[in-house]
Each structure stands twice: as C-alpha cells, then as structure tokens.
C-alpha cells in the first residue's frame, strides 16, 4: 500500500457528522417491538455502517426470525422502518450537526484538503438538506451510488475517484467497525470516532470531531 501526504478527507455521515445513529436505533427497536422481541443497543452496534437490508437480516436473526419472511415481506418491513426513520429525520435542523464537524470541514478546505461525504445511507441527501451542510463537501457518495455496502471499500474508492485523490492520501472518518474495515480495504488511513474498544482497526480513535483541525491531522497523517 502506498501512503502519501494527506490530500483528502472522507466522512461517514451517520454517527460522525450527525447523530442519526440514534434515529436508526429508535426505528429498528420499534420494528423489533412490533415483531415481539427486544433489540438492545449492543445488538444495534452490528447494524452501524451496513446496508438497510443487511441490517434487517441481522435484526431478524437477533429475534430468531431469520427464516420467517419472504423477500417481499422483508421489503415491507424495511420500508416500515425507513418511514419511521424519515419521520425522525424530518425534525432535524442545523443544530443536529455534531460538535466540531462544520469547523473541521471549513478548516480542511482552507488548507486545500478535499472533502467528501461517503455514506452507506440512501437517505444522505435529505439529511444534508435538513442540516444545510451539503456545500461543505466537494463530493457526495451515498447508498444510492453503490452496489456493495461497507465493509466493501466501494463507497470510499468512488469518493476518492470523484475527488481525483489517490487512496493512499485519503483519511477516512468512521464510527462503525464495518467502515474502518472498508477504509483499510481501500488502502486508506482512518480515524475511528467513538470508543477505542469498538474500533480496533482504526489508525487513531477520537471521541468526536470537537477540537480536531487540519493542524492536528497533519501531525497524525504526514
């Protein structure tokens, strides 16, 4: 793997830029309760970063219902969850952008570092619109642009190519184990956002973006 100077930063959305991970959890737990079982926050960790239909499969597995539904019934369940999720998203405003995100994106731009959103979510567009941060990204790649969700590296490789950046010069910001795996598979370095014990493969783990700027990243990723 060839590692060069940091030229681009790729940001996951849910759990890094906005706290929509809690909305996903709320909606999945509501579906589990409708189906008659409990879905814990620990169970929910397995859903972070993975696609909507894969998330449903994991949830049904937790409830011991893996074999119960046909594909079209599963689509209905996923649609039901997504409807609830979008209800929560509809109430979002710019105040829901996580601390430090706007400051970091602005500072990176100021120092000539390209920025991209790289999310598995098919709802990224509406979230960017609700929070008013779309213009802070030079490129946006989301769940509608890819055929393989994280841990596959497709979302990050596509984001890098849209920025015309070499993978070795990209730094990925991710809150999900599947996303850190995807970054490594893409030949990129990564900053895990959250608890270090949940993100063992990340090059660096930080609790959030607050206080992070170009200067400190430059020190970490020469």
> Is the CB of 3 or the CB of 54 nearer to ligand B16?
54
Task: Answer yes or no: 12 catalytic.
Answer: yes
121 binds, among ligand B16, Mg ion, none (CB under 5 to 8 A by kind): ligand B16
Judged by CB, which is closer to ligand B16: 23, or 214?
Answer: 23
> What residues have CB less than 8 Å from 71, skipping those under 6 apart?
none
In whole angstroms, the minimum distance from the beta carbon of 15 to ligand B16 comes to 6
Q: 14 with 119: CB under 8 angstroms? A: yes
14 labelled catalytic: yes
Widest CA span of the chain, in angstroms?
Answer: 53
Report the residue number, 113 or 127, with the smaller CB distance to Mg ion.
Answer: 127
Q: Closest distance between Mg ion and the C-beta of residue 26, in Å?
A: 15
Q: Which does 181 bind (CB under 5 to 8 A by kind): Mg ion, ligand B16, none?
A: none
Instruction: Name the burial class of residue 158, with classes exposed (0-12), middle (13-18) and buried (19+) by CB atoms within 10 angstroms of its CB.
Output: middle
CA–CA distance, 170 with 159 (Å, rounded to integer): 10
Interface contacts to Mg ion, rule CB under 5 A: 12, 14-15, 175-176
What tokens appear for 162 in the block?
A: 């849209």
Q: Which residues are catalytic?
A: 12, 14
């Amino acid at each position: 793997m060839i590692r060069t100077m940091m030229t681009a930063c790729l940001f996951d959305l849910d759990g890094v830029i906005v706290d929509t991970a809690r909305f996903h959890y709320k909606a999945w737990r509501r579906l589990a309760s409708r189906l008659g079982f409990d879905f814990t926050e620990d169970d929910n960790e397995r859903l972070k970063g993975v696609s909507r239909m894969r998330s449903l499969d994991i949830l049904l597995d937790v409830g011991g219902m893996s074999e119960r539904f046909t594909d079209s019934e599963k689509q209905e369940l996923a649609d039901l969850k997504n409807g609830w999720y979008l209800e929560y998203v509809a109430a979002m405003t710019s105040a829901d952008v996580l601390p430090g995100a706007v400051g970091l994106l602005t500072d990176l731009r100021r120092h000539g570092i390209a920025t991209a959103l790289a999310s598995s979510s098919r709802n990224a567009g509406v979230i960017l619109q609700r929070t008013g941060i779309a213009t802070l990204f030079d490129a946006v790649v989301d769940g509608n642009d890819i055929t393989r969700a994280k841990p596959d590296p497709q979302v990050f490789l596509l984001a890098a190519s849209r920025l015309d950046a070499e993978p070795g010069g990209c730094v990925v910001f991710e809150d999900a184990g599947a996303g850190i795996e995807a970054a490594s598979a893409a030949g990129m370095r990564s900053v895990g956002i959250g608890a270090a014990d949940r993100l063992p493969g990340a090059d660096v783990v930080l609790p959030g973006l607050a206080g992070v700027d170009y200067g400190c990243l430059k020190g970490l990723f020469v």
